[in-house]
């Protein structure tokens, strides 16, 4: 049964039903309080009532902070996600009660971000955090009444994969214009193996089996170990690298590799070139050598043909040679 009480700030209504905790809320008018009470009583009578008290008394910033402290540290790229969460904490939506946030609110924020020039992929990653936050809050933190406002939100279409090929001449130019002793072998190893910069940066000599010509990657993007066969050129690169006391093959972090690459590209006046293009080039060359999808996927770590297609742009002249 609902009971009403006049308060200085409006009307307080209390709903009591056997088997449920007391539910209380304050409204500006008696009619609003009565309408709300009827909805709650109906839900309790039908056995579908879910308490909204947590969502109505918790602001988004509190949930984001809890997610940052409890969920993010267990993720592989926690520092990157932490950076994105801190950006969300500065968003006006973070000051709102969770119960008041709707898909339209996030759609407006999406549109504002697009006008700021944020890339579709960055938007996708930002909103993926919010979507997972709602899933965790609903499943584990007692926010059963929450509906994920991101689920049906439209996102900008992701651009097609880059088709930039990297020539041996360009790699040589980068090597000539770098001031880093490590970058030269890193570039050659990247284009021979298709490894990501983070994978290269984390390499140790324990990961290399010289006799079998195999390199084991333990720090991969998808979390699975991967074995990379080493070509004769890759073996030559590794044999030219002096051994470090700490057991690492290179003394550069992934970010340091990127900065060194950017500086070398500018000095060599190479346009529209990213370090990741070396991975793209390496994968394409594996196909051009005649390896099939399964073989290339086992080396690159891709699990689907669709993902491999984003990286593969075969030279037409090479296809003509095979056609005869």
Which residues share a beta bridge with 3? 14
Helix (H, G, I), strand (E, B) or coil at 241: coil
Q: What is residue 28's predicted lDDT score, i.e. its pLDDT?
A: 78
* Average pLDDT of span 221-239: 85
Q: Do residues 39 and 60 lie in contact, with contact meaning Cβ atoms separated by under 8 Å? A: no
pLDDT at 315 over 70: no
196 catalytic per annotation: yes
The class of domain 168-323 in CATH terms is mainly alpha
> Catalytic: which of 196, 197, 226, 285?
196
Catalytic residue among 197, 226, 285, 302: 302
pTM above 0.75, yes or no: no
Backbone angles phi, psi at 283, to 5 degrees: -65, -40
Strand partners, 227: 216
Can 276 be counted among the known catalytic residues? Answer: yes
**Is there a catalytic annotation at residue 267?**
no
**Strands in 183-223 per DSSP E:** 208-209, 214-217
Domain ranges of the chain: 2-49, 57-140, 168-323
From 25, 197, 279, 285, active-site residue:
279
CA distances to 11, 28, 35 from 31, in Å? 9, 9, 6
255 is catalytic: no
* Tens of pLDDT, residues 160-207: 667 788 999 999 999 999 988 899 999 999 999 999 998 999 999 999
């Amino acid at each position: 049964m609902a009971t009403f009480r006049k308060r200085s700030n409006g009307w307080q209504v209390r709903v009591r039903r056997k088997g449920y905790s007391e539910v209380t809320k304050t409204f500006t008018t008696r009619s609003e309080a009565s309408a709300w009470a009827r909805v709650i009583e109906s839900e309790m009578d039908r056995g579908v009532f879910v308490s909204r008290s947590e969502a109505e008394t918790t602001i988004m910033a509190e949930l984001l902070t809890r997610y940052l402290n409890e969920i993010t540290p267990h993720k592989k790229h926690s520092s990157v996600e932490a950076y994105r969460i801190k950006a969300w904490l500065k968003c006006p939506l973070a000051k709102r009660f969770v119960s008041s946030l709707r898909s339209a609110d996030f759609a407006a924020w999406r549109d504002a971000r697009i006008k700021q020039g944020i890339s579709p992929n960055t938007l996708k990653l930002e909103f993926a955090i919010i979507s997972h936050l709602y899933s965790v809050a609903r499943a584990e933190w007692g926010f059963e009444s929450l509906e994920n406002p991101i689920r049906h939100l439209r996102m900008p279409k992701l651009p097609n994969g880059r088709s930039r090929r990297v020539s041996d001449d360009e790699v040589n130019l980068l090597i000539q214009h770098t001031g880093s002793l490590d970058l030269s072998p890193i570039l050659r190893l990247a284009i021979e193996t298709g490894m990501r910069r983070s994978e290269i940066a984390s390499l140790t000599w324990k990961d290399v089996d010289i006799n079998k010509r195999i390199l084991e990657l333990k720090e991969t993007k998808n979390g699975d170990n991967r074995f990379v066969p080493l070509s004769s050129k890759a073996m030559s690169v590794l044999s030219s690298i002096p051994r470090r006391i700490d057991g690492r093959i290179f003394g550069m972090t992934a970010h340091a590799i990127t900065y060194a690459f950017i500086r070398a590209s500018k000095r060599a006046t190479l346009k529209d070139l990213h370090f990741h293009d070396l991975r793209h080039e390496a994968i394409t060359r594996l196909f051009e050598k005649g390896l099939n999808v399964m073989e290339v996927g086992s080396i690159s770590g891709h699990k689907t043909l669709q993902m491999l297609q984003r990286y593969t742009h075969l030279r037409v002249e090479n296809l003509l040679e095979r056609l005869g």
